[in-house]
Chain A
Amino acid sequence: MPALDVQQLTKTYKGGFQALKGIDLTVEEGDFFALLGPNGAGKSTFIGILASLVNKTDGSVRVFGEDQDRTPELVKSFIGLVPQEFNFNLFLPVVEVVVNQAGYYGIPRREAKVRAERYLKQLDLWDRRDTEMRKLSGGLKRRLMIARALVHEPRLLILDEPTAGVDIEIRRSMWTFLRELNAGGTTIILTTHYLEEAESLCRHIAIINHGEIAERTSMLTLLNRLNTETFVLNLKGRLSELPQLGGFVLQHLDDCTLEVEMSREHTVNGLFEALSRNGIEVISLRNKQNRLERLFLEMVDRRADAGWSSSDPANAPDAARKVTA
Protein backbone atom coordinates (compact mmCIF):
# COMPACT_ATOMS: atom_id res chain seq x y z
CA MET A 1 0.00 0.00 0.00
CA PRO A 2 1.52 3.37 -0.97
CA ALA A 3 2.05 5.99 1.71
CA LEU A 4 0.63 8.58 -0.65
CA ASP A 5 -1.51 8.15 -3.71
CA VAL A 6 -2.63 11.33 -5.42
CA GLN A 7 -4.80 11.23 -8.52
CA GLN A 8 -5.74 14.09 -10.83
CA LEU A 9 -5.20 16.69 -8.16
CA THR A 10 -6.14 20.17 -9.30
CA LYS A 11 -6.23 23.52 -7.59
CA THR A 12 -7.58 26.70 -9.10
CA TYR A 13 -7.39 29.78 -6.89
CA LYS A 14 -9.94 32.58 -6.85
CA GLY A 15 -9.10 34.74 -9.82
CA GLY A 16 -8.54 31.70 -12.02
CA PHE A 17 -4.85 30.92 -11.39
CA GLN A 18 -4.43 27.17 -11.80
CA ALA A 19 -1.71 26.11 -9.39
CA LEU A 20 -2.08 22.35 -9.91
CA LYS A 21 -3.19 20.87 -13.22
CA GLY A 22 -4.11 17.28 -12.54
CA ILE A 23 -1.22 15.81 -10.59
CA ASP A 24 -0.79 12.05 -10.30
CA LEU A 25 1.83 10.98 -7.78
CA THR A 26 2.54 7.89 -5.73
CA VAL A 27 5.03 7.65 -2.87
CA GLU A 28 5.76 4.20 -1.50
CA GLU A 29 5.77 3.44 2.20
CA GLY A 30 9.23 3.88 3.76
CA ASP A 31 10.52 6.06 0.92
CA PHE A 32 12.56 9.22 1.32
CA PHE A 33 11.08 11.30 -1.46
CA ALA A 34 12.17 14.66 -2.89
CA LEU A 35 9.65 17.04 -4.38
CA LEU A 36 11.46 19.74 -6.31
CA GLY A 37 10.41 22.59 -8.53
CA PRO A 38 11.09 26.24 -9.24
CA ASN A 39 9.37 29.06 -7.37
CA GLY A 40 5.63 29.12 -8.00
CA ALA A 41 5.62 25.60 -9.44
CA GLY A 42 2.88 24.45 -7.08
CA LYS A 43 4.86 22.59 -4.39
CA SER A 44 3.48 24.50 -1.44
CA THR A 45 -0.07 24.25 -2.79
CA PHE A 46 0.43 20.51 -3.19
CA ILE A 47 1.74 20.13 0.35
CA GLY A 48 -0.98 22.44 1.67
CA ILE A 49 -3.64 20.15 0.21
CA LEU A 50 -2.01 17.05 1.70
CA ALA A 51 -1.93 18.72 5.11
CA SER A 52 -5.53 20.02 4.85
CA LEU A 53 -4.42 23.66 4.85
CA VAL A 54 -5.54 24.28 1.27
CA ASN A 55 -8.87 23.21 -0.21
CA LYS A 56 -8.40 21.22 -3.38
CA THR A 57 -10.50 21.93 -6.45
CA ASP A 58 -10.66 18.36 -7.71
CA GLY A 59 -8.93 15.00 -7.52
CA SER A 60 -8.24 12.52 -4.76
CA VAL A 61 -5.67 12.12 -2.00
CA ARG A 62 -5.17 8.78 -0.28
CA VAL A 63 -2.75 8.36 2.60
CA PHE A 64 -1.95 4.77 3.55
CA GLY A 65 -5.10 3.76 1.68
CA GLU A 66 -7.39 6.21 3.48
CA ASP A 67 -9.28 8.77 1.43
CA GLN A 68 -8.81 12.34 2.62
CA ASP A 69 -12.45 13.18 1.82
CA ARG A 70 -13.95 10.14 3.54
CA THR A 71 -11.77 9.81 6.64
CA PRO A 72 -10.13 13.22 7.04
CA GLU A 73 -9.37 12.75 10.74
CA LEU A 74 -7.57 9.46 10.16
CA VAL A 75 -5.60 10.90 7.25
CA LYS A 76 -4.57 13.88 9.38
CA SER A 77 -3.38 11.58 12.15
CA PHE A 78 -1.07 9.82 9.66
CA ILE A 79 0.64 13.04 8.55
CA GLY A 80 3.18 15.26 10.29
CA LEU A 81 3.91 18.61 8.66
CA VAL A 82 6.99 20.79 8.98
CA PRO A 83 5.88 23.93 7.16
CA GLN A 84 8.04 26.38 5.28
CA GLU A 85 7.03 29.42 7.34
CA PHE A 86 7.25 29.67 11.12
CA ASN A 87 3.76 29.27 12.55
CA PHE A 88 4.07 29.49 16.32
CA ASN A 89 2.50 31.41 19.13
CA LEU A 90 5.64 33.37 19.87
CA PHE A 91 4.73 33.93 23.51
CA LEU A 92 4.51 30.27 24.47
CA PRO A 93 7.41 28.32 25.96
CA VAL A 94 8.95 25.66 23.74
CA VAL A 95 7.64 22.67 25.67
CA GLU A 96 4.09 24.00 25.69
CA VAL A 97 4.07 24.28 21.90
CA VAL A 98 4.88 20.59 21.60
CA VAL A 99 2.57 19.45 24.42
CA ASN A 100 -0.33 21.45 22.98
CA GLN A 101 0.23 19.97 19.55
CA ALA A 102 0.06 16.49 21.03
CA GLY A 103 -3.17 17.49 22.78
CA TYR A 104 -4.74 18.59 19.50
CA TYR A 105 -4.05 15.07 18.23
CA GLY A 106 -5.87 13.61 21.23
CA ILE A 107 -2.82 12.52 23.21
CA PRO A 108 -3.43 12.86 26.97
CA ARG A 109 -1.33 15.50 28.71
CA ARG A 110 0.78 13.09 30.75
CA GLU A 111 1.80 11.11 27.67
CA ALA A 112 2.19 14.32 25.68
CA LYS A 113 4.77 15.56 28.20
CA VAL A 114 6.73 12.31 27.94
CA ARG A 115 6.78 12.52 24.15
CA ALA A 116 7.65 16.23 24.19
CA GLU A 117 10.66 15.47 26.38
CA ARG A 118 11.75 12.63 24.08
CA TYR A 119 11.60 14.68 20.86
CA LEU A 120 12.99 17.87 22.38
CA LYS A 121 15.94 15.86 23.67
CA GLN A 122 16.45 14.19 20.30
CA LEU A 123 16.55 17.57 18.62
CA ASP A 124 18.77 19.17 21.29
CA LEU A 125 16.05 21.53 22.51
CA TRP A 126 15.38 20.16 25.97
CA ASP A 127 17.61 22.75 27.64
CA ARG A 128 15.49 25.46 26.01
CA ARG A 129 12.15 23.95 27.01
CA ASP A 130 11.08 26.94 29.09
CA THR A 131 12.31 29.56 26.63
CA GLU A 132 9.63 31.61 24.89
CA MET A 133 9.42 30.92 21.17
CA ARG A 134 10.24 34.49 20.19
CA LYS A 135 13.63 34.17 21.88
CA LEU A 136 14.74 31.19 19.78
CA SER A 137 17.05 31.51 16.78
CA GLY A 138 15.85 30.54 13.29
CA GLY A 139 17.72 27.24 13.38
CA LEU A 140 16.22 26.26 16.74
CA LYS A 141 12.74 27.16 15.52
CA ARG A 142 13.26 24.89 12.50
CA ARG A 143 14.24 22.03 14.81
CA LEU A 144 11.26 22.71 17.04
CA MET A 145 8.96 22.46 14.03
CA ILE A 146 10.30 18.96 13.45
CA ALA A 147 9.74 18.00 17.11
CA ARG A 148 6.22 19.41 16.94
CA ALA A 149 5.46 17.48 13.75
CA LEU A 150 6.70 14.22 15.27
CA VAL A 151 4.96 14.35 18.63
CA HIS A 152 1.96 12.36 17.39
CA GLU A 153 4.33 9.88 15.71
CA PRO A 154 3.14 10.25 12.13
CA ARG A 155 3.73 7.57 9.50
CA LEU A 156 4.25 10.20 6.80
CA LEU A 157 6.41 13.24 7.52
CA ILE A 158 6.24 16.15 5.07
CA LEU A 159 9.04 18.69 5.30
CA ASP A 160 8.68 21.89 3.31
CA GLU A 161 12.17 23.38 3.09
CA PRO A 162 13.12 22.33 6.62
CA THR A 163 16.71 23.55 6.47
CA ALA A 164 16.07 26.95 4.91
CA GLY A 165 18.28 29.54 6.58
CA VAL A 166 20.01 27.21 9.04
CA ASP A 167 23.77 26.92 9.32
CA ILE A 168 25.60 23.95 7.89
CA GLU A 169 26.22 22.31 11.28
CA ILE A 170 22.53 22.27 12.21
CA ARG A 171 21.63 21.23 8.67
CA ARG A 172 23.96 18.21 8.85
CA SER A 173 22.60 17.19 12.25
CA MET A 174 19.06 17.46 10.87
CA TRP A 175 20.03 15.25 7.94
CA THR A 176 21.34 12.61 10.32
CA PHE A 177 18.17 12.81 12.37
CA LEU A 178 15.94 12.50 9.29
CA ARG A 179 17.94 9.54 7.95
CA GLU A 180 17.49 7.73 11.27
CA LEU A 181 13.80 8.55 11.29
CA ASN A 182 13.40 7.18 7.78
CA ALA A 183 15.39 4.08 8.70
CA GLY A 184 12.90 3.58 11.53
CA GLY A 185 10.08 3.30 8.99
CA THR A 186 8.74 6.84 8.66
CA THR A 187 8.00 7.81 5.07
CA ILE A 188 9.42 11.26 4.32
CA ILE A 189 8.56 13.76 1.61
CA LEU A 190 11.01 16.64 1.37
CA THR A 191 11.14 19.87 -0.55
CA THR A 192 14.33 21.83 -0.28
CA HIS A 193 16.32 24.81 -1.53
CA TYR A 194 19.45 22.72 -1.43
CA LEU A 195 19.63 20.16 -4.23
CA GLU A 196 22.68 18.68 -2.56
CA GLU A 197 20.34 17.86 0.32
CA ALA A 198 17.84 16.09 -1.94
CA GLU A 199 20.62 14.16 -3.68
CA SER A 200 22.13 13.10 -0.40
CA LEU A 201 18.92 12.09 1.39
CA CYS A 202 16.28 11.01 -1.10
CA ARG A 203 15.79 7.77 -3.01
CA HIS A 204 13.03 8.98 -5.31
CA ILE A 205 12.28 12.33 -6.79
CA ALA A 206 9.49 14.21 -8.52
CA ILE A 207 9.98 17.53 -10.25
CA ILE A 208 6.94 19.73 -10.37
CA ASN A 209 6.75 22.63 -12.78
CA HIS A 210 3.84 24.88 -13.72
CA GLY A 211 1.47 22.73 -11.68
CA GLU A 212 2.37 19.45 -13.41
CA ILE A 213 4.75 16.61 -12.65
CA ALA A 214 7.66 17.04 -15.05
CA GLU A 215 9.55 13.99 -13.86
CA ARG A 216 9.09 11.19 -11.36
CA THR A 217 11.85 8.66 -11.04
CA SER A 218 14.51 7.27 -8.73
CA MET A 219 17.41 9.52 -7.81
CA LEU A 220 19.88 7.02 -9.25
CA THR A 221 18.12 6.84 -12.61
CA LEU A 222 17.97 10.59 -12.81
CA LEU A 223 21.62 11.12 -11.97
CA ASN A 224 22.66 8.44 -14.48
CA ARG A 225 21.18 10.60 -17.20
CA LEU A 226 24.06 12.99 -16.88
CA ASN A 227 26.38 12.21 -19.81
CA THR A 228 29.08 14.64 -18.84
CA GLU A 229 30.64 15.91 -15.66
CA THR A 230 32.61 19.10 -15.18
CA PHE A 231 35.48 19.50 -12.73
CA VAL A 232 37.41 22.55 -11.69
CA LEU A 233 41.12 21.85 -11.08
CA ASN A 234 43.49 24.03 -9.04
CA LEU A 235 46.95 23.71 -10.57
CA LYS A 236 50.30 23.78 -8.79
CA GLY A 237 51.98 25.98 -11.43
CA ARG A 238 50.89 28.49 -14.03
CA LEU A 239 49.58 27.16 -17.32
CA SER A 240 50.07 29.53 -20.24
CA GLU A 241 48.85 27.28 -23.06
CA LEU A 242 46.05 24.71 -23.05
CA PRO A 243 47.25 21.20 -23.95
CA GLN A 244 45.22 18.97 -26.27
CA LEU A 245 43.84 16.03 -24.27
CA GLY A 246 41.83 13.55 -26.31
CA GLY A 247 38.28 13.06 -24.93
CA PHE A 248 38.50 16.00 -22.48
CA VAL A 249 37.33 19.56 -23.14
CA LEU A 250 39.58 22.02 -21.33
CA GLN A 251 39.00 25.64 -20.55
CA HIS A 252 41.17 28.22 -18.80
CA LEU A 253 39.46 29.96 -15.89
CA ASP A 254 42.69 31.74 -14.93
CA ASP A 255 46.41 30.92 -15.10
CA CYS A 256 46.17 28.43 -12.24
CA THR A 257 42.64 27.11 -12.69
CA LEU A 258 41.40 24.71 -15.31
CA GLU A 259 37.89 23.55 -16.11
CA VAL A 260 37.59 20.05 -17.55
CA GLU A 261 34.45 18.58 -19.07
CA MET A 262 34.53 14.82 -19.52
CA SER A 263 32.03 12.29 -20.73
CA ARG A 264 30.99 9.23 -18.72
CA GLU A 265 33.13 7.06 -21.02
CA HIS A 266 36.25 8.50 -19.45
CA THR A 267 37.56 8.16 -15.92
CA VAL A 268 39.17 10.60 -13.55
CA ASN A 269 42.21 8.29 -13.53
CA GLY A 270 42.47 8.76 -17.29
CA LEU A 271 42.27 12.50 -16.88
CA PHE A 272 45.10 12.54 -14.34
CA GLU A 273 47.27 10.32 -16.53
CA ALA A 274 46.78 12.70 -19.45
CA LEU A 275 47.53 15.72 -17.28
CA SER A 276 50.67 14.07 -15.88
CA ARG A 277 51.89 13.27 -19.39
CA ASN A 278 51.70 16.99 -20.11
CA GLY A 279 53.51 17.89 -16.91
CA ILE A 280 50.50 19.46 -15.26
CA GLU A 281 50.27 19.00 -11.48
CA VAL A 282 46.93 19.31 -9.70
CA ILE A 283 46.55 20.50 -6.09
CA SER A 284 42.81 19.91 -5.75
CA LEU A 285 39.62 19.40 -7.72
CA ARG A 286 35.86 19.90 -7.21
CA ASN A 287 32.65 19.38 -9.11
CA LYS A 288 31.71 22.58 -10.91
CA GLN A 289 28.03 22.15 -10.14
CA ASN A 290 25.88 19.86 -8.07
CA ARG A 291 24.79 17.08 -10.41
CA LEU A 292 21.13 17.20 -9.46
CA GLU A 293 21.09 20.97 -9.76
CA ARG A 294 22.41 20.68 -13.31
CA LEU A 295 19.79 18.11 -14.30
CA PHE A 296 17.10 20.13 -12.64
CA LEU A 297 18.03 23.26 -14.57
CA GLU A 298 18.26 21.35 -17.83
CA MET A 299 14.86 19.80 -17.30
CA VAL A 300 13.08 22.95 -16.26
CA ASP A 301 14.78 25.06 -18.96
CA ARG A 302 14.00 22.52 -21.68
CA ARG A 303 10.34 22.46 -20.83
CA ALA A 304 10.15 26.19 -20.46
CA ASP A 305 11.88 26.68 -23.82
CA ALA A 306 9.42 24.29 -25.45
CA GLY A 307 6.57 26.40 -24.09
CA TRP A 308 5.69 23.39 -21.97
CA SER A 309 2.49 24.10 -20.09
CA SER A 310 3.53 27.62 -19.34
CA SER A 311 0.71 29.95 -18.42
CA ASP A 312 2.97 32.89 -19.17
CA PRO A 313 5.58 31.78 -21.70
CA ALA A 314 7.26 35.17 -21.70
CA ASN A 315 8.29 34.76 -18.08
CA ALA A 316 8.81 31.03 -18.03
CA PRO A 317 12.59 30.79 -18.66
CA ASP A 318 13.36 33.37 -15.97
CA ALA A 319 11.06 31.68 -13.53
CA ALA A 320 12.61 28.35 -14.34
CA ARG A 321 16.10 29.59 -13.55
CA LYS A 322 15.13 30.56 -10.03
CA VAL A 323 16.22 27.26 -8.63
CA THR A 324 14.68 27.10 -5.25
CA ALA A 325 13.38 23.57 -5.52
Chain B
Amino acid sequence: MSRQGVGWYRHWISFQTIFIKEILRFTRIWVQTILPSVITTTLYFVIFGRLIGDRIGTMGGLDYLDFIVPGLVLMGVITNAYSNVVSSFYSSKFSRYIEELLVSPAPDWVILAGYVAGGVARGLVVGLAVMLVAMVFTEIRIHSVAVTLLVITMTAVLFALGGFINAVYANSFDDISIVPTFVLTPLTYLGGVFYSIELLPAFWQGVSLANPVLYMVNAFRFGLQGVSDIPVGIAFGIIAIFILVLGAFSLHLLRRGVGIKT
Protein backbone atom coordinates (compact mmCIF):
# COMPACT_ATOMS: atom_id res chain seq x y z
CA MET B 1 0.00 0.00 0.00
CA SER B 2 3.08 2.20 -0.25
CA ARG B 3 1.86 4.60 -2.92
CA GLN B 4 -1.77 3.72 -2.57
CA GLY B 5 -2.33 6.23 0.19
CA VAL B 6 -5.56 8.08 0.56
CA GLY B 7 -6.64 11.23 -1.16
CA TRP B 8 -6.44 13.12 -4.38
CA TYR B 9 -3.60 11.17 -5.98
CA ARG B 10 -5.44 7.90 -5.50
CA HIS B 11 -8.67 9.43 -6.80
CA TRP B 12 -6.79 10.73 -9.83
CA ILE B 13 -5.49 7.24 -10.59
CA SER B 14 -9.00 5.80 -10.23
CA PHE B 15 -10.40 8.45 -12.56
CA GLN B 16 -7.61 7.89 -15.06
CA THR B 17 -8.26 4.14 -15.04
CA ILE B 18 -11.98 4.52 -15.77
CA PHE B 19 -11.31 7.19 -18.39
CA ILE B 20 -8.67 5.14 -20.23
CA LYS B 21 -10.88 2.04 -20.04
CA GLU B 22 -13.71 4.03 -21.65
CA ILE B 23 -11.50 5.42 -24.40
CA LEU B 24 -10.11 1.97 -25.18
CA ARG B 25 -13.66 0.62 -25.29
CA PHE B 26 -14.94 2.99 -27.96
CA THR B 27 -11.72 3.07 -29.99
CA ARG B 28 -11.57 -0.75 -30.10
CA ILE B 29 -14.99 -0.79 -31.74
CA TRP B 30 -14.57 2.42 -33.77
CA VAL B 31 -16.51 0.96 -36.68
CA GLN B 32 -19.56 0.87 -34.41
CA THR B 33 -18.86 4.03 -32.45
CA ILE B 34 -17.13 6.63 -34.64
CA LEU B 35 -17.77 5.68 -38.24
CA PRO B 36 -21.62 5.71 -38.33
CA SER B 37 -21.83 9.39 -37.28
CA VAL B 38 -19.23 10.33 -39.88
CA ILE B 39 -21.12 8.51 -42.65
CA THR B 40 -24.51 9.94 -41.60
CA THR B 41 -23.28 13.52 -41.47
CA THR B 42 -21.47 13.12 -44.78
CA LEU B 43 -24.84 12.15 -46.27
CA TYR B 44 -26.46 15.18 -44.62
CA PHE B 45 -23.82 17.45 -46.14
CA VAL B 46 -24.24 15.90 -49.57
CA ILE B 47 -28.06 15.83 -49.61
CA PHE B 48 -29.13 18.80 -47.48
CA GLY B 49 -26.04 20.89 -47.96
CA ARG B 50 -25.14 20.40 -51.61
CA LEU B 51 -28.19 19.05 -53.44
CA ILE B 52 -31.08 20.72 -51.59
CA GLY B 53 -29.10 23.47 -49.88
CA ASP B 54 -28.13 25.13 -53.17
CA ARG B 55 -31.84 25.64 -53.90
CA ILE B 56 -32.62 26.93 -50.40
CA GLY B 57 -30.10 29.75 -50.64
CA THR B 58 -29.29 31.46 -47.32
CA MET B 59 -30.47 30.81 -43.78
CA GLY B 60 -29.82 33.22 -40.89
CA GLY B 61 -27.58 35.23 -43.18
CA LEU B 62 -25.41 32.22 -44.07
CA ASP B 63 -25.21 29.81 -47.01
CA TYR B 64 -27.42 26.86 -46.07
CA LEU B 65 -24.47 24.44 -46.03
CA ASP B 66 -22.58 26.73 -43.65
CA PHE B 67 -25.71 27.13 -41.54
CA ILE B 68 -26.14 23.40 -40.88
CA VAL B 69 -22.47 22.71 -40.07
CA PRO B 70 -22.65 23.67 -36.34
CA GLY B 71 -25.89 21.75 -35.83
CA LEU B 72 -24.58 18.61 -37.50
CA VAL B 73 -21.33 18.72 -35.51
CA LEU B 74 -23.28 19.18 -32.30
CA MET B 75 -25.73 16.44 -33.24
CA GLY B 76 -22.80 14.03 -33.49
CA VAL B 77 -21.45 15.23 -30.15
CA ILE B 78 -24.81 14.90 -28.40
CA THR B 79 -25.71 11.43 -29.64
CA ASN B 80 -22.23 10.01 -29.11
CA ALA B 81 -21.62 11.47 -25.66
CA TYR B 82 -25.01 10.12 -24.62
CA SER B 83 -24.79 6.69 -26.18
CA ASN B 84 -21.24 6.06 -24.99
CA VAL B 85 -22.16 6.44 -21.34
CA VAL B 86 -25.56 4.79 -21.55
CA SER B 87 -24.27 1.68 -23.32
CA SER B 88 -21.04 1.37 -21.34
CA PHE B 89 -22.58 1.88 -17.91
CA TYR B 90 -25.59 -0.29 -18.67
CA SER B 91 -23.32 -3.09 -19.97
CA SER B 92 -21.34 -2.91 -16.74
CA LYS B 93 -24.61 -3.26 -14.80
CA PHE B 94 -25.90 -6.05 -17.02
CA SER B 95 -22.71 -8.13 -16.78
CA ARG B 96 -22.22 -7.09 -13.15
CA TYR B 97 -18.66 -5.82 -13.63
CA ILE B 98 -19.84 -2.52 -12.18
CA GLU B 99 -19.17 -4.42 -8.92
CA GLU B 100 -15.44 -4.07 -9.64
CA LEU B 101 -15.90 -0.34 -9.09
CA LEU B 102 -18.45 -0.54 -6.29
CA VAL B 103 -16.17 -2.63 -4.06
CA SER B 104 -13.25 -0.28 -4.69
CA PRO B 105 -12.58 2.90 -2.70
CA ALA B 106 -13.23 5.08 -5.76
CA PRO B 107 -15.80 7.66 -4.56
CA ASP B 108 -19.08 8.14 -6.40
CA TRP B 109 -17.99 11.42 -7.96
CA VAL B 110 -14.85 9.80 -9.39
CA ILE B 111 -16.90 6.99 -10.94
CA LEU B 112 -19.32 9.53 -12.43
CA ALA B 113 -16.50 11.77 -13.65
CA GLY B 114 -14.73 8.81 -15.29
CA TYR B 115 -17.77 7.68 -17.24
CA VAL B 116 -18.76 11.24 -18.19
CA ALA B 117 -15.21 12.01 -19.33
CA GLY B 118 -15.33 8.89 -21.51
CA GLY B 119 -18.58 10.09 -23.08
CA VAL B 120 -17.17 13.58 -23.61
CA ALA B 121 -14.07 12.11 -25.25
CA ARG B 122 -16.14 10.12 -27.74
CA GLY B 123 -18.41 13.12 -28.38
CA LEU B 124 -15.41 15.34 -29.10
CA VAL B 125 -13.71 12.75 -31.32
CA VAL B 126 -16.90 12.44 -33.40
CA GLY B 127 -17.36 16.23 -33.38
CA LEU B 128 -13.84 16.64 -34.73
CA ALA B 129 -14.41 13.96 -37.37
CA VAL B 130 -17.64 15.63 -38.53
CA MET B 131 -15.86 18.98 -38.63
CA LEU B 132 -13.17 17.47 -40.87
CA VAL B 133 -15.88 16.10 -43.17
CA ALA B 134 -17.51 19.56 -43.24
CA MET B 135 -14.19 21.06 -44.33
CA VAL B 136 -14.39 18.95 -47.47
CA PHE B 137 -17.63 20.71 -48.41
CA THR B 138 -17.09 24.24 -47.14
CA GLU B 139 -14.54 26.56 -45.62
CA ILE B 140 -14.66 26.69 -41.83
CA ARG B 141 -13.47 29.78 -39.99
CA ILE B 142 -13.90 29.75 -36.27
CA HIS B 143 -15.34 33.02 -34.94
CA SER B 144 -14.43 32.34 -31.29
CA VAL B 145 -12.28 29.34 -30.35
CA ALA B 146 -13.08 29.77 -26.65
CA VAL B 147 -16.87 29.81 -27.15
CA THR B 148 -16.69 26.92 -29.59
CA LEU B 149 -14.65 24.69 -27.29
CA LEU B 150 -16.63 25.63 -24.20
CA VAL B 151 -20.03 24.98 -25.79
CA ILE B 152 -19.04 21.69 -27.38
CA THR B 153 -17.48 20.43 -24.14
CA MET B 154 -20.35 21.56 -21.93
CA THR B 155 -22.88 20.02 -24.31
CA ALA B 156 -20.98 16.73 -24.27
CA VAL B 157 -20.87 16.78 -20.46
CA LEU B 158 -24.60 17.46 -20.26
CA PHE B 159 -25.60 14.61 -22.54
CA ALA B 160 -23.07 12.23 -21.03
CA LEU B 161 -24.83 12.88 -17.70
CA GLY B 162 -28.16 12.22 -19.40
CA GLY B 163 -26.82 8.92 -20.70
CA PHE B 164 -25.64 7.99 -17.22
CA ILE B 165 -29.08 8.61 -15.68
CA ASN B 166 -30.71 6.60 -18.47
CA ALA B 167 -28.32 3.71 -17.80
CA VAL B 168 -29.02 3.77 -14.06
CA TYR B 169 -32.75 3.33 -14.63
CA ALA B 170 -32.49 0.96 -17.60
CA ASN B 171 -33.51 -2.63 -16.97
CA SER B 172 -32.98 -3.93 -20.49
CA PHE B 173 -31.11 -3.04 -23.66
CA ASP B 174 -34.43 -1.75 -25.06
CA ASP B 175 -34.53 0.83 -22.27
CA ILE B 176 -31.27 2.39 -23.41
CA SER B 177 -32.58 3.08 -26.90
CA ILE B 178 -35.94 4.58 -25.89
CA VAL B 179 -34.63 7.98 -24.81
CA PRO B 180 -32.31 8.48 -27.82
CA THR B 181 -35.11 7.53 -30.22
CA PHE B 182 -38.08 9.27 -28.66
CA VAL B 183 -36.49 12.22 -26.85
CA LEU B 184 -33.00 12.98 -28.10
CA THR B 185 -33.59 12.76 -31.84
CA PRO B 186 -36.74 14.97 -31.86
CA LEU B 187 -35.08 17.52 -29.56
CA THR B 188 -32.04 17.67 -31.82
CA TYR B 189 -33.98 17.92 -35.08
CA LEU B 190 -36.25 20.59 -33.57
CA GLY B 191 -33.29 22.38 -31.98
CA GLY B 192 -32.49 24.60 -34.93
CA VAL B 193 -30.01 22.30 -36.63
CA PHE B 194 -31.58 22.67 -40.07
CA TYR B 195 -33.50 25.95 -39.72
CA SER B 196 -33.52 29.28 -37.96
CA ILE B 197 -36.39 29.68 -35.48
CA GLU B 198 -37.07 33.04 -37.10
CA LEU B 199 -38.81 31.01 -39.83
CA LEU B 200 -41.36 29.72 -37.31
CA PRO B 201 -44.62 31.44 -36.30
CA ALA B 202 -44.40 33.27 -32.96
CA PHE B 203 -46.13 30.48 -31.03
CA TRP B 204 -43.71 27.78 -32.23
CA GLN B 205 -40.79 30.10 -31.62
CA GLY B 206 -41.93 30.22 -27.99
CA VAL B 207 -42.25 26.43 -27.86
CA SER B 208 -38.80 26.04 -29.39
CA LEU B 209 -37.30 28.11 -26.59
CA ALA B 210 -38.22 25.30 -24.17
CA ASN B 211 -35.87 23.00 -26.07
CA PRO B 212 -32.41 23.04 -24.41
CA VAL B 213 -30.74 21.77 -27.59
CA LEU B 214 -31.71 25.02 -29.34
CA TYR B 215 -29.49 26.98 -26.94
CA MET B 216 -26.56 24.67 -27.49
CA VAL B 217 -26.84 24.69 -31.28
CA ASN B 218 -27.11 28.46 -31.37
CA ALA B 219 -24.26 29.05 -28.93
CA PHE B 220 -22.10 26.68 -30.98
CA ARG B 221 -23.15 28.45 -34.18
CA PHE B 222 -22.11 31.72 -32.57
CA GLY B 223 -18.75 30.23 -31.67
CA LEU B 224 -18.15 29.02 -35.22
CA GLN B 225 -19.86 31.71 -37.31
CA GLY B 226 -20.70 34.60 -35.00
CA VAL B 227 -24.50 34.37 -35.52
CA SER B 228 -27.16 33.08 -33.13
CA ASP B 229 -30.94 33.20 -32.61
CA ILE B 230 -30.32 33.28 -28.83
CA PRO B 231 -28.09 35.52 -26.68
CA VAL B 232 -24.98 33.41 -26.00
CA GLY B 233 -24.85 34.31 -22.28
CA ILE B 234 -28.34 32.88 -21.76
CA ALA B 235 -27.35 29.75 -23.67
CA PHE B 236 -24.31 29.21 -21.41
CA GLY B 237 -26.42 29.84 -18.31
CA ILE B 238 -29.02 27.29 -19.35
CA ILE B 239 -26.44 24.61 -20.24
CA ALA B 240 -24.66 25.20 -16.93
CA ILE B 241 -27.92 24.89 -14.96
CA PHE B 242 -28.77 21.61 -16.72
CA ILE B 243 -25.29 20.27 -15.98
CA LEU B 244 -25.57 21.14 -12.30
CA VAL B 245 -29.03 19.61 -11.96
CA LEU B 246 -28.23 16.39 -13.85
CA GLY B 247 -24.82 16.11 -12.16
CA ALA B 248 -26.33 16.44 -8.67
CA PHE B 249 -29.06 13.96 -9.56
CA SER B 250 -26.54 11.45 -10.94
CA LEU B 251 -24.48 11.64 -7.74
CA HIS B 252 -27.63 11.18 -5.69
CA LEU B 253 -28.47 8.04 -7.69
CA LEU B 254 -24.98 6.64 -7.22
CA ARG B 255 -24.98 7.41 -3.50
CA ARG B 256 -28.32 5.66 -3.06
CA GLY B 257 -27.17 2.81 -5.27
CA VAL B 258 -30.28 3.08 -7.45
CA GLY B 259 -30.24 0.35 -10.07
CA ILE B 260 -26.88 -1.00 -8.94
CA LYS B 261 -27.31 -1.99 -5.27
CA THR B 262 -30.12 -3.82 -3.51
Q: Mark A37-64, 1 if CB is under 8 A from B, else 0.
A: 0000000000010011111000000000
Contacts of B6 in A (CB 8 A): 73-74, 77
Contact B13 A103 (CB under 8 A): yes
Q: Mark B216-258, 1 if CB is under 8 A from A, else 0.
A: 0000000000000000000000000000000000000000110
How near does chain B come to A294, taking the closest CB pair, in angstroms? 34
Give the docked Cα–Cα distance between A203 and B6 (Å): 33
Q: Mark B87-131, 1 if CB is under 8 A from A, else 0.
A: 000011001110111111111000000000000000000000000
Contact B4 A105 (CB under 8 A): yes
Contacts of A65 in B (CB 8 A): none
Contacts of A124 in B (CB 8 A): none
Give the docked Cα–Cα distance between A54 and B96 (Å): 13
Contact A52 B103 (CB under 8 A): yes
A106 touching B262 in the complex, CB below 8 Å, given contacts A89-B97, A100-B17, A100-B100 = no
Pick from A55, A83, A85, A100: contact of B257, CB under 8 Å: A55
Residue of B nearest to A48 (CB): B262
Tally of contact residues, A, Cβ under 8 A: 34
Q: Mark B118-148, 1 if CB is under 8 A from A, else 0.
A: 0000000000000000000000000000000
Contact A106 B102 (CB under 8 A): no
A105 touching B100 in the complex, CB below 8 Å, given contacts A74-B105, A87-B95, A111-B3 = no
How near does chain A come to B90, taking the closest CB pair, in angstroms? 13
Q: Which of B6, B13, B95, B96 lies at the interface centre, i.e. has the most chain A CB atoms within 10 A of its CB?
A: B13
How near does chain B come to A92, taking the closest CB pair, in angstroms? 8
Pick from A48, A77, A103: contact of B17, CB under 8 Å: A103
Is A226 part of the contact surface with B, judged by Cβ < 8 Å? Answer: no
- Measured CB to CB, the residues of B under 8 A from A are 1, 3-6, 9-11, 13-14, 16-18, 21, 91-92, 95-97, 99-107, 256-257, 261-262
- Measured CB to CB, the residues of A under 8 A from B are 13, 48, 51-55, 72-74, 76-77, 79, 81, 83, 85-90, 100-101, 103-109, 111, 148, 152-153
Q: What are 8 A-B contacts defined by CB distance under 8 Å?
A: A77-B4, A77-B105, A79-B103, A103-B13, A103-B18, A104-B14, A107-B3, A111-B3
Known contacts A52-B102, A54-B261; can you find 9 more A-B pairs with CB under 8 A? Answer: A48-B262, A79-B103, A100-B100, A103-B18, A105-B10, A106-B13, A106-B14, A106-B106, A107-B13
